[in-house]
A and B are shown apart, each in its own frame.
Chain A
Amino acid sequence: MVSKEEIMKVAILSKLFVADDEIDSLTKDMGEIIAFADTINNAADEGTDFDNINNLSNVLREDEVVASYDREKILANAKDSDEGCFLVKNIMK
């Protein structure tokens, strides 16, 4: 069973707020989903290694310098930008 405290801790890690009036129903829903996820612990662990899908291997290539996107175009999607940079509130005094 998951507790409210665990949900609050996970919410902090997820950078999400959980409102006071949401916490009870969310804890209940999450409890049910996690109880469902727990069913995998009934399965025998065959120790099957799984590291990737369809036997993929790393793709390597020479590093080449190619043109990138135009700075103005990239910044056009930001709500706040200044002097060619993304603008955020200061994080250090």
Chain B
Amino acid sequence: MIESKIVKLHKMLEEKEISCKELTQRYIDALQKDNAQLNAYVTTTPEAALEAADKVDEKIAKGEKIDILEGIPMTLKDNISTDGIRTTCCSKILEDYVPIYDATVWKILKSQNAVLLGKTNMDEFAMGSSCENSYFGGAKNPHNIEHVAGGSSGGVASAVGGNIAVYGLGSDTGGSIRQPASFCGIVGMKPTYGAISRYGLIAYASSFDQIGPITTSVEDAAIVYDVISKYDKMDSTSQGRKGAPVCDTLKNDIKGMKIGLAREYLDGVRDDVRQSVEQAAEIYKSLGAEIVYFDLPALKYALPVYYILACAEASSNLGRYDGIRYGYKAESYRDVNDMIKKTRSTGFGDEVKKRILLGTYVLSSGYYDAYYKKAQNLRGTIVNSFKNAFKVCDVILAPTVPMTAFENGHAVSDPVETYLTDICTVPVNIAGLPGISVPCGYNANGMPIGMQLIGNTFEEAKILNAAWQYENAANIYKSSDFGVKL
């Protein structure tokens, strides 16, 4: 059984085996030592962390009850706004931007005295699959620092996998939580679109973006999800969690649960990955679940649909960076237009500029119908094919990524091939579904392999239940050598 770090630490704090200050200091020390190798954090906040820890210790000393996430050292991806703490999206254009308000998720956690250790690395504006598009250089994989942590939430995955944060929040637009979690051998969940408030999450593609937890165990992901899945009037697409807390049903047995396997998800994935996923299906059978096979032909269009629509939304969302109100501003220029162009051309990295250009292209006159409108129609087709799939199964089992973490600098110079790494993760974002990545094996070089469980809308409880049962039976998670040993 993979133990819940949050439950363990919560008990240790309550039973005064360790003070919150000592716990926090251990994480700060480990972070200061290991971050030089992992490059997981781009900003650290030790004073604020210790201040929060003091508040928790005061409560414990007075005999007050503490909430489950109270005093637990954690991190946030650097696109989640934090009042008074630099939030850069790992872009030159926001290098010195300090938000004046908190994202709702951070507001919730802060109100529970969560101990924020710092802000973590990511591909610039969450655009990438290796974290190497970061203005601050990429985060490294804690299982082998010659390999990438994945992306775009590579810093959170590197910090959690490297035990220099107990848990973290990332964002997932096309796989940016699940893919780095898979690469780093840990758990990452992208909730249903609307389950978690996006207020204060710096936008990439608003109809795809969703915040979610990255943790070392399924139980930790469930605990964090229950706390942050609240309706928020500041986000017009917010709905909050539907139904009872997911922790209530996490450990239920799964006899008779129908686990779906679609051939299209296994096409073209590497042998070691496919074998691990097939072994997971066998474990599900032994737990009394039923494996059902079906086709999802619409999936073959998922990747181009995703890139067309996400880049279209990005080109509009990133229009706000003009050097006037915040962020980097070009030093010399002729007039306002020249200033905006110079600011954007110098402030954005190459991948971001490429996606803005692609998005502008597919929205421009003469191309709108052939690309944007057609992709939007196909989005509807993909949504419907998932709806049909969930008539025959409860959850879908698939690989998270077709391969394991690649070596640093190898994130393939071929732009289309790089995009193919997202092939198993983007369908979930297109259809707004919840998906979770759970470790399911290691390749010959010891690099982690992840599998994905996909559920129908607002059925996080089902995928977490299936994930917990698998994790408990398979016992795959191995800690890396970095960070705090509990």
Interface residues of A (CB under 8 A from B): 2, 6-7, 9-11, 13-17, 26, 29-30, 32-34, 36-41, 43, 45-50, 52-54, 56, 58-59, 61, 69-70, 73-74, 76-80, 86, 88-89, 91
Contact (A54, B339) CB under 8 Å given A10-B361, A86-B324: no
**Could you tell me if B324 and A10 are in contact, using CB atoms closer than 8 angstroms?**
no
Report whether over half of chain B's contact residues are helix, strand or loop; otherwise say mixed.
helix
Instruction: Determine if A46 and B381 form an interchain contact, defined as CB atoms under 8 angstroms apart.
Output: yes
In the bound complex, residues from chain B placing their C-beta under 8 Å from that of A47 are 377
In the complex, A76→B100 CA distance in Å?
A: 9
User: Once bound together, how far apart are the Cα atoms of A60 and B418, in whole Å?
Assistant: 42
What residues of chain B lie closer than 8 Å to A54, measured between beta carbons?
192-194, 239, 432, 457
User: Is B341's beta carbon under 8 Å from chain A?
Assistant: yes
CB contacts (< 8 Å) of A74 on chain B: these are: 100, 325
A11 touches B357 (CB 8 A): yes
CB distance from B375 to the nearest CB of A (A): 6
Which chain B residues numbered 316 to 336 have a C-beta less than 8 Å away from chain A? 319, 322-327, 329, 333, 335-336
Does B252 make an interface contact (CB < 8 A)?
Answer: no
**Cβ distance A27 to chain B, nearest Cβ, rounded Å:** 10
CA distance A73 to B84 in the complex (A): 10
Q: Does B145 contact A (CB under 8 A)?
A: no
**In the complex, how many residue pairs between chain A and chain B have their CB atoms under 8 Å apart?**
153
In the complex, which residues of chain A have a beta carbon less than 8 angstroms from the beta carbon of B335?
A: 89, 91
Which stretch of B69-77, B279-287, B299-307 is in the interface? B299-307
Which of B304, B353, B356, B457 lies in contact with A39, CB distance below 8 A?
B304
Render B339-354 as a binary contact track against A, CB cut-off 8 A, 1 for contact: 1111011001000011
Please determine whether B344 and A86 come into contact, CB atoms closer than 8 angstroms. no
Residues of A contacting B348 in the complex (Cβ-Cβ under 8 angstroms): 16
For B328, the closest partner residue in chain A by CB is: A79
The CA of A74 and the CA of B325, in the complex, are separated in Å by 8
Most buried by B among A15, A32, A56: A15
| Shortest 4 CB-CB contacts between residues of A and residues of B | A48-B380, A50-B380, A77-B326, A53-B432
* Contact in complex: A17, B357 (CB < 8 Å): no
Residues of B within 8 A of A59 (CB): 233, 236
Question: Cβ of B315 and Cβ of A14 under 8 Å apart?
Answer: yes
Contact A89 B339 (CB under 8 A): yes
CA distance A91 to B303 in the complex (A): 42
Chain B residues lying within 8 Å of A77, measured Cβ to Cβ, are: 97-98, 100, 325-327
**Which residues from chain B contact A11 at a C-beta distance below 8 Å?**
357
